[in-house]
Structure 1
């Protein structure tokens, strides 16, 4: 029996100075998350993350080094995620896909949202 394994990439996407806020997205299920998406077959990690961020937010992000990698079990398989530090030249967002709201928050406010522990850890590593 083969197991399905998803590879996801997210970004702690920091906005322009001096505010230095970061972007959180709310999906249709009311869950807050960092921007990003699944890596496609044959896609390199950084270009894949840039594509996913552009598709979901309309932002052309500059991607830095990863700040966290993690794996977990889901449904009938597993998932692996790498979260990168990234920068946006703007706070203008054009939502697409399954997201219904975007907010730019100070890092201290962002970690108070109901994010999973990996995303909170990634924010702390990327910002603090």
Structure 2
């Protein structure tokens, strides 16, 4: 089920540029996954891996699956960002050295907006935050 059918907003979205890059990388590397930690750059650059190459656990939160791709965030980072809608985008520059887009001349980047009070209430009711 999608977040839409459950009456709560999606927590991570993608721009068309991000979807295009994800599909290009997936054609080359197979299924993908994202992980965003609280590391450098205030966590604005999620890491893109072949699915299953980065091991997730209880310390990670699955925010959603934009374009069918799991997007995880470390639980400690999620505590800061849980009231925020994230949009995965692409900007010029080098990605993280372990992120798949590193050789593409671009990097994935997160843009954000704070959810409205009504959206926060819907996420709480759904036990998403």
TM-score under structure 1 normalisation?
Answer: 0.32
- Select the structure that is richer in strand: 1
- Select the structure that is richer in helix: 2
TM-score under structure 2 normalisation?
Answer: 0.32
